[in-house]
Amino acid sequence: MSLLDVSIVNVALPSIQRGTGADAGTAQWVVSGYALAFGLVLVSGGRLGDALGRRRMFLIALAAFVVTSALTGAAPNDLMLVLGRLLQGCAAGLLTPQNSGLIQDLFRGAERGRAFGMFGAVVGISTAVGPVLGGLILAIFGEQDGWRWVFYVNVPIGVVAFVLAMRLVPGKAGRRTKLRSEIDFVGILLLGLAVLGVLLPLVESEQDGLRRLWWLFPIAVVIGAAFIWWERRILRRGRSPLIDIRLYTSTPGYASGAALGTVYFCGFAGIWLVFALFFQQGLGYSPLRSGLSVTPFALGSAISAVLAGRLVSRLGRKLTVTGLSLVATGLGTVALLAWLVPTANAGLVFAGPLLVAGIGGGMVISPNTTLTLECVPTRMAGVAGGALQTGQRIGTAIGTAVLAGVFRGVVTGTRGDYPTALSIAMLCSAGFVLVALALGIGELRARRARRSADQLQDVTFAAPSE
């Protein structure tokens, strides 16, 4: 449900703009603001789960997500809508790490791979099926106020999920510790400012943000360096940092896997808004027809994610390399067809390449999660999972801003040439995926080297309090 809200809003953006009078920049914040808040809260959510117990934190966060969904749907204007989305993103960020943390706590070896395979299928389906569900909701409730039901639909689903979680989610006592010692508030502030410095110029690109706000990029680099220094200082003092830097420096495969996931989500998650704009504004499709046009990706991703989860313990990084190759091929083919084929047949013509890209996408997310966390000590499972997903959520926000900005910029510059805009945006997306592919190939070689040196094993290092 929380991941569905990343993509479901893309289809509803035109309806949101008509219903609230929001401009393009504000509408972009409805998407990117949620993803940003989601990403910034993930690691803190993992720490709270450790301290309070994952079941308790899951129920608290789920209740918060339901309430903020209702408030967002009832927003009287665009400002309250953006604020509601930010709060909803915070609730989602608290909720999500409890899922991956439970998987890491309860499963080992090949079982964990299968569990993350199911998790990856959920990620792929909920991200890709969002446009279909959003279109269906708008078709039922109308274009003017149908966007409100995109958020209201979370309320009955969330209530049912809460009741089921009370009965089915296993409880485990959290550590007896003060929350102040668990949450690195300075680290949260520094990381938030660094990410904001990168994201704000991109989100405001429609309003000439790159030219006006370029100076935020070097400031973000400086703040990012200060964040790393602070985290090392916190660790030396025996306290719990927001992100333990040793995850990246001393854990085989973690840094490259996290980088791969972030870059892949830059290219993968941003395409849904571009497709929604192309089909609805460029071709005049209804939101439902627009969503159905990208369904092949969801179907391919759902099937391959489950199969990949069963094969990851045997094939390892070969799966992610193969999957990234298929995604890049599929998106590149869409870019070519958008340029060559008459737009009247676009929805049908894109089905095959999107199916190929979806099959590849299902081979990336869950295997990458399994392999990236493979050598992480169990004690740090929640933090590592939260940090990994933080990169994915930030990648989602950056990719959505970049690809949508490129698409809109080309449409404006060419006076309405939507096929060319789609083609260039898809090439940018494929470019992100090719960078992720290069990281995957590098990690595949490094993994082989570690295996030959018999270094592929769990890493242990002292806890901050020791």
* Across 114-131, average pLDDT: 74
Q: Is 153 helix (H, G, I), strand (E, B) or coil?
A: coil
**Torsion angle of C-alpha atoms 305, 307, 310, 313, degrees rounded to 10:** -70
Q: What is the pLDDT of residues 16-74, one digit of tens each?
A: 888 777 777 677 778 777 877 887 788 778 777 877 778 888 899 999 999 999 999 99
Half-sphere exposure at residue 447, Cβ-oriented, CA atoms within 13 angstroms: 22
Residue 454: pLDDT over 60: no
The mean per-residue pLDDT over the stretch 412-440 comes to 92
Predicted confidence (pLDDT) per residue in 102-111, tens digit: 887 778 777 8
List the chain domain ranges.
4-170+242-447, 184-241
What's residue 458's pLDDT? 47
Mean pLDDT score of the chain:
82
Give 97 or 195, the one with higher predicted confidence. 97
Question: How many other C-beta atoms are found inside a 10 Å radius of the C-beta of residue 331?
Answer: 30
Q: What are the structure tokens assigned to 212, written together?
A: 């006006």
- The one-letter amino acid code at 69 reads S
Q: Which CATH architecture describes the domain 4-170+242-447?
A: Up-down Bundle (1.20)
Cβ-in-10-Å burial (0-12, 13-18, 19+) of 110 comes to middle
Q: Are the C-beta atoms of 368 and 260 separated by less than 8 Å?
A: yes
Q: Using 50, 70 and 90 to split pLDDT, how confident is the model at 178? A: low
* 316 torsion bin: left (phi>0), alpha (psi -120 to 50), beta (else): left
Average pLDDT of the segment spanning 271-283: 86
Statement: residue 267 has pLDDT above 60: yes
Mean pLDDT of 294-299: 86
Please tell me the least confidently modeled range out of 94-98, 143-147, 273-277. Answer: 143-147
Torsion sign, CA atoms 202, 187, 391, 393: negative
Cα 176 to the center of its chain, rounded Å: 32
What would the DSSP string read from start to end of 259-316?
HHHHHHHHHHTTHHHHHHHIIIIIS---HHHHHHHTHHHHHHHHHHHHHHHHHHHHHT
The pLDDT-based confidence of 151 (bands split at 50, 70, 90) is very high
User: How far apart, in whole angstroms, are the C-alpha atoms of residue 304 and residue 247?
Assistant: 29
How would you class 70 by CB atoms within 10 Å of its CB: exposed for 0-12, middle for 13-18, buried for 19 or more?
middle
For residue 464, what is the DSSP state? T
